[in-house]
A and B are shown apart, each in its own frame.
Chain A
Amino acid sequence: MHELALAQSVVTILCEEAERHGLVQVDAFRLQVGELRAVVPEMLETCLEAVGRGTVVEGARVQLEIVPGRARCGCGEEFAVGELLFLCPGCGRPGGAIIAGQELTLVELEGTDGEELSNENEQGERA
């Protein structure tokens, strides 16, 4: 269940970014999660929802982008890996360097700032 700890970190970062950019609400955000990180996407989403409750992140849409694993062997071969136990398909040796698939990154967020929200409310009142 490292998903809960990851969700807490994500929400902390989102709250910091929201404050820095004057956002009163986070509407959506995009996370890159490496395939090799053993993160269960549904569980992470559930934890994000739970941890985000009562913060500016509450109700935000989550876009999870799973980054496929890739490794490069000392022989120069580059290949896809779905798990950490792998051999180079070129030379058969273990121990290739992982070059993708270990990401845990917040890449983008969308939100509403205080001014936009009050404009929206005014429009709502007029309508």
Chain B
Amino acid sequence: MTRVKVVRDILEANERLAGENRARFDAGRVRVVNLMSAPGAGKTTLLERTISGLSPRLRIGVVEGDIQGSSDAERIERAGAVAVQINTDGACHLDANMVASAVAELDLSALDLLVIENVGNLVCPAEFNVGEHAKAMILSLAEGDDKPAKYPLMFRESRVLLINKMDLAPYVDADPDRIERDARAINPEIDVLRVSCKTGDGLQGWLGWLERLVQG
């Protein structure tokens, strides 16, 4: 019997690959956002709005993560940005290795901003760094105001929270003040923006946030 003391971080392989991705992003002078949310919170719609709001001032690329299909990448290309689709074939999040192979298809030096749209899931994507400069998340109001308390990790990891579908406020029993209060209790540094991708309300704040990230 041989006993070996190891002490190795289980996520070290992902962290190492994330570091390599980050070095490529920095060499290409592109800022990278990892965009996360539950399915249906409005990630792709937000990106369509973002592309039309920031092009051609910023050159934007998108890596689309989905379990199956390429309809989201097609939407992004119609909106006027470069898109690469990743199909995870069942995996519920993107990891650094998947992102590395998608990024290899992009000319990073031709981009100012790259958004990695993660698989719709409020849990696992927050565990895996992909080399991003910032994590951003969307919670749509209709998902309920108890979500920060129930799924705290993503709120802790994100630098900005967009509360989307604010236009539904009269129809749903969810209190955006409670979402904001709980999100700040989990992560006092988090920026909180209230938006409606449908009406466009509040989106200027998000576009400004991205522009500051790109300039910073």
Which residue numbers of A lie inside 8 Å of B, CB to CB? 1-2, 4-6, 9-10, 12-13, 17, 21, 23, 27, 31, 36-38, 83-87, 94-95, 104-113, 116
Contact = CB atoms under 8 A, between A and B. Distances in A.
B1 A38 contact: no
B10 A83 contact: no
A106 B6 contact: yes
A108 B4 contact: yes
Interface stretch (B147-155, B164-172, B207-215): B147-155
A86 B184 CA distance: 11
Contacts, number: 96
Interface in B103-146: 123-124, 127-128
30 contacts: A1-B124, A2-B123, A2-B128, A5-B91, A6-B10, A6-B11, A9-B12, A9-B13, A9-B14, A12-B13, A13-B12, A21-B2, A36-B153, A83-B152, A84-B155, A85-B149, A85-B182, A85-B186, A94-B185, A94-B186, A95-B185, A95-B187, A106-B10, A108-B3, A108-B4, A109-B3, A110-B1, A111-B1, A111-B2, A113-B2
Given A2-B93, A27-B1, A84-B152, A108 B10 contact: no
A10 B123 CA distance: 20
B10 A13 contact: yes
A23 B6 CA distance: 14
A87 B188 CA distance: 11
> Main secondary structure on chain A at its contact with chain B?
mixed
Q: 8 closest A-B pairs (Cβ-Cβ)?
A: A84-B152, A95-B188, A94-B185, A2-B124, A104-B10, A9-B10, A106-B8, A110-B3
B124 A5 contact: yes
A17 to B, nearest CB: 6
Contacts of B92: 1-2
Contacts of B95: 5
A69 B4 CA distance: 27
A81 to B, nearest CB: 11
Nearest to A18: B4
B5 interface: yes
B7 A107 contact: yes
A84 B147 CA distance: 12
